[in-house]
Amino acid sequence: QHAGGGEYHYIPCLNERGDWIHALTDMVLDNLQGWLVEPNAAELEQSRLRALAMGAKK
């Protein structure tokens, strides 16, 4: 109980229905486009070389 957890209160959520999950998915995909950019091979190699120069084993 010191860190909480002594009581549990259920709060109904919109995300319990499949149609709402799909709506959330659409909102996320519409608004997060371009945030997560996969690094290209050259960037990965540069990162690897920097790590090795700093003493990384592999």
Write out pLDDT tens, residues 7-24.
Answer: 877 777 766 788 888 998
pLDDT tens profile 38-57: 789 999 999 999 999 999 99
**pLDDT by residue (tens digit) across 28-38?**
888 887 777 77
Give the helix/strand (H/E) hosting 28.
helix 18-31
Q: What is the dihedral of CA 22, 28, 33, 39, to 10 degrees?
A: -100
Query: What are the tokens at 11?
Result: 């709060």
